[in-house]
Amino acid sequence: MTVDLPEFLERGEPARLIPVAHASQKERSAASVFLAALTVVRPFAESVLETISKSLGRRSSLAAFTEVVFKDCPEEDRCRPDGLLVLTTPRSEWRAVIEAKIGTGKISAEQLTRYTKLAAHNKIDAVITISNELAVMPDHPPYEIPPKIGGKVEVYHWSWMRLVTLGTMLLSQADETFDPEQHFLLKEVLRYFSHENVDVRGFHQMNPEWPGLLERIHSGANLHRTDSAVQKTVAAWHQEQSDLCLLLARKLRVPVSLKMKKSHRSDQAARVEADAGELVAEKRLSATFEVPNIAAPIEVTANALKRNIVCQMSVDAPEDRKKYESRLNWLLRQLPEETEARIGIHIRWKNGGNSFGWLPELRADPKKADIGRSGAVPKCFDVFTVTDLGRKFSGTKNFIEELETALPQFYDSVARHIRPWQPGPAAGPLEGEETLADTVENLPNLKPAPPRQVVRQGAAGNGHYLVFADGSIEVETPNGVRLFKSLGELLSHAKRGSAANGPST
């Protein structure tokens, strides 16, 4: 298939699935394989482009080039991006410059500035960076975007692991409609990126400041959200959040997302500030993960003071069970009898109150967590596991390894077993024949209103009045008894009546 070189390029090669490049040019090879896969495996391209809100319609086409050199390039910014992506629709053309890093390579502010300036100069719509750095969303890059760059040029970031995860999920859900040749090609592409020589990796260790920051926390030192160590720790935590989403997605073959406030989705700086504030004030890092088809989101908290990791989900108690033990047993029956996880249950009660018990203890004696209040029933169950790390908590690699073990274990031991309570179907006389008259006759009678409390009464003119506890007033008039909701309504009525009668003579 021949692809014409865009007019604005001086040089460039169509992206190739089997690139010929020197062993030292891993980034160029990786970019070529990925971009070529987009052009030949349409479902993969659709899945990838969807992450940046671009649609590959039936009449759209996608072209990709590597080793591109632009004809019109600012003299001070001679540069050669790793690739160019061109999405053509019947009405428009969208273009993106691609810059890729492999291994420990990172996108620098200087590079980003040059490429956005180049893009703006050539009416390129976006700059897309690809590296092993992770981002929770493509428009939340894991690096600072220098001010005054690019004008209207969009900046996106994909991690290699996100792209591999998208491909993995696509193949795991493929059915007989998936083109066999495209299936084969995509699987080979994933095999390429999974090879250790390509050096595609997830997030595997916290920032170097992590151990020192924990020492400051345990010594009681004052922390500020703007401290460099705090900011770098939050940045590392955000990358690990993204990696945990991808880890679960690959294991479960379903999309897993991070639950965030709407304001944090639109403003990355606000998200960083909020998480830095939580670390400084509460001495903890937290995240909430949304997994399809489970009872509730999974909350993960790393407590720096206790040096532990807590995974938890909150489940509403069944409303159709009227006693404490029946509500608790509804939950206990769903949890596995044998598990290595240390599972605890916090019970939140209707009308206030909390209690707690470990799973084995509650199985042996459900009354252990009863608060002993007559008629009290649980409102919600917080089911959790605790992983105590001790000294491992401060290890930059150990912390990540334990975290990436604790979350999948919680899913396997707790989350996948619990089904949320749902109200049963409405009861009704569906058997036999019922006439319309029968239906009307069987309608429930209106319950009588409770008697109102009279707080004051007396005579008014030739009539009588009553004042009730809710503020309403009942007054006898020549035309019958009138009920007013408040004194203000009564005075307004009297004023209108006086005006209607005209001035006295």
Q: Please give the span between the terminal C-alpha atoms of the chain, in angstroms, as a whole number.
A: 104
Question: In percent, how much of the chain has pLDDT > 70?
Answer: 93
CB neighbourhood size of 266 (10 A): 12
- Using only the alpha carbons of the chain, give its radius of gyration: 33
Helix pair angle (228-252, 210-219), 10° resolution: 120
Q: What's residue 219's pLDDT?
A: 93
Does the structure show a pLDDT above 50 at 504? no
Q: How far apart are CA 114 and CA 125, in angstroms?
A: 15
Model pTM score = 0.76
pLDDT at 454: 86
Cβ neighbours around 340 below 10 Å, total: 7
Quote the CA–CA distance of 447 and 192 in Å, as a whole number. 73
pLDDT in tens, 220-271: 999 999 999 999 999 999 999 999 999 999 999 999 999 999 888 888 889 9
Cβ neighbours, 10 Å, residue 43:
19
Query: 311 pLDDT band (50/70/90 cuts)?
Result: very high
The pLDDT of 492-498, averaged and rounded, is 74
The pair of structure tokens assigned to 174 is: 């493929």
Could you state, in order of their start, the residue ranges of all structural domains in the chain?
9-194, 210-417, 454-501
> Is 2 a residue whose pLDDT tops 70?
no
Q: What are the pLDDT digits (tens) for 28-59? A: 899 999 999 999 999 999 999 999 999 998 88
Distance CA 320, CA 424 (A): 8
User: What's the token pair of residue 466?
Assistant: 């009553």
Buried b (16+ CB within 10 A) or exposed e, 284-316: bbbbbbebeebbbbbbbbbbbeebbbbbbbbbe
- Please give the helix or strand (H or E) that residue 113 lies within, else none: helix 109-121
What's the pLDDT at 111? 86
Residues in the chain: 505
Supply the pLDDT for residue 13: 86
Least confident of 139-148, 356-365, 387-396: 139-148
Determine the pLDDT at residue 505: 37
Name the band, by pLDDT with cuts 50, 70 and 90, for residue 79. confident
| Paired tokens of 246 | 């991808």
